[in-house]
Amino acid sequence: MKNILSSKFKCTVGVGILSWKSHKTLEKSLQSYEEIGFKNFFDEVKIIFQEISDDDIALAKKYGYDYVGTEKNLGIQEGHRLIHENLNTDYILVLENDNPVVENTDITLKRLSKSLELLESNTIDIMRLRHRWS
């Protein structure tokens, strides 16, 4: 079954979350995702844990996320590469453990949809999203 973004576009969309020893920070981000049904936007969602621990695995399972882990910290650049290697979707949203969603479901979906529209029309090659507090 296709998810929300895939239903609107003729592509698949995944999200990868890079994390390293930040359980409380990651949990706050995952809680923000739960509040707006974030996982339902995507075809595939996976957490990449560097220096994976039992606590990491428990957190992923608590929120129903697939995960991959490394024995040592490979750094942000290698972590991002692992996200790309471990997701099998046309587009990938790359997040880190300290990227909570601060907008509601409608605004978040609108921003992601607009990003995909621009990517699919070849207007842009990459989209970076961020929130700027006023």
pLDDT at 70 over 60: yes
- Return all residues near 41 (Cβ < 8 A) that are at least 6 apart: 3, 4, 5, 13, 15, 108, 109, 112
Q: How confident is the model at residue 6 (pLDDT cuts 50, 70, 90)?
A: confident
pLDDT tens by residue, 16-63: 999 999 999 999 999 999 999 999 999 999 999 999 999 999 999 999
